[in-house]
């Protein structure tokens, strides 16, 4: 049975989006609170200040936001100041030459968004609940957003959305686990990669290679942003006997699957892929559905990992 869920995974996700279309998930406007990297370019100075402030504070204060209780900082390590400030500092001559050569390699082949100065890729974009808020909020003329999903039905819904602008966005079908299929951008060309409740949907054994491939697409100093299900989230505790496919990996009633992470597991995935920890925190929330008189304890994990500005071998 687990083999069936793997072989027919695309069928289950296509059915999900055929049933719900774009009415299941809400637009994630909380993105810019938790991930200021996605906001307009004028907010980049705010981002740098945020990193430096947290670096000075050994016990970071909890932050409140409109979605619920404060985030709980469990662990937090920072990128080197070089990788955070590389956009504003004047690099050494050697770095200038290296960067120019790198730019020539990227520009040698035209690709969607090749003229952009800030490139964001969302993997597992669904019907665009992350992509469209970014396009609506971030008016940076140099911005280009790529988005892909396993489901061709989801991508069709993105492309037919009135907000979809081919001059600023490129949506495509892609299997995160397909080792043979390449992404439509060169290595070292992306500033941001977003993974929101998507890594948990694939087989645990395939997660590391998927993250390794994505890591190679990041520019030096580029960032990978993740938000996903944490261990002992309400959704995990509500699964019934027979729905567990393997350790902490379950199948829902509609055939889609979900894994529940620990902070340590995610840290291993990202650091093994050559990335450095910027943030790895647990977001615990108590949600109350007054209509159904239900109390729900949610556990999510939020991570930010960056690609070192210079490789250790240089």
Mean pLDDT of 202-208: 94
Cα atoms in the 13 Å half-sphere on the side-chain side of 206: 14
Give the residues across from 279 on adjacent strands. 304
Whole-number percent of the chain with pLDDT over 70:
67
When comparing pLDDT for 60 and 156, which is higher?
Answer: 156
**Residue 108 in tokens:** 């040698």
Angle at 278 between CA 63 and CA 250, to 5 degrees: 80
Q: What is the pTM of this model?
A: 0.72
pLDDT at 178 over 60: yes
Long-range interactions of 169-174: CB distance < 8 A, separation 24+: 169/131, 169/135, 169/144, 169/145, 170/112, 170/113, 170/144, 170/145, 170/146, 171/125, 171/128, 171/131, 171/146, 171/147, 172/146, 172/147, 172/148, 173/148, 173/149, 174/123, 174/148, 174/149, 174/150
């Amino acid at each position: 049975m687990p083999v069936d869920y793997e072989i027919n995974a695309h069928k289950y996700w296509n059915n999900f989006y055929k049933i719900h279309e774009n009415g299941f998930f809400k637009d994630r406007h909380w993105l810019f609170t938790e991930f200021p990297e996605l906001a307009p370019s004028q907010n980049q100075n705010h981002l740098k200040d945020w990193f430096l402030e947290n670096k000075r504070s050994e016990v970071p204060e909890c932050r409140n936001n409109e979605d619920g209780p404060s985030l709980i900082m469990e662990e937090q390590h920072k990128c080197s100041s070089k990788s955070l400030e590389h956009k504003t500092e004047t690099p050494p001559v050697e770095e200038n030459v290296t960067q120019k050569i790198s730019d020539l390699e990227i520009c040698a082949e035209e690709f969607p968004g090749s003229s952009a100065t800030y490139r964001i890729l969302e993997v597992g974009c669904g019907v665009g609940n992350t992509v469209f808020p970014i396009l609506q909020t971030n008016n940076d003329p140099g911005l280009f957003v790529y988005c892909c999903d396993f489901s061709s039905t989801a991508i069709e819904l993105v492309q037919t959305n009135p907000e979809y602008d081919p001059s600023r966005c490129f949506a495509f079908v892609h299997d995160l686990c397909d080792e043979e299929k390449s992404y439509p951008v060169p290595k070292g060309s992306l500033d941001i990669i977003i993974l929101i409740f998507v890594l948990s949907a694939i087989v645990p054994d395939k997660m590391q290679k998927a993250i390794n491939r994505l890591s190679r697409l990041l520019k030096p100093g580029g960032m990978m942003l993740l938000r996903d299900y944490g261990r002992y989230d309400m959704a995990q505790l509500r699964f019934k006997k027979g729905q567990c496919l393997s350790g902490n990996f379950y199948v829902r009633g509609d055939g889609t699957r979900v894994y529940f992470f620990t902070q340590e597991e995610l840290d291993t995935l990202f650091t093994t892929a050559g990335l450095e920890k910027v943030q790895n925190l647990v977001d615990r929330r108590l949600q109350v559905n007054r209509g159904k008189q239900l109390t729900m304890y949610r556990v999510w994990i939020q991570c930010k990992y960056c690609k070192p500005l210079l490789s250790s071998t240089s």
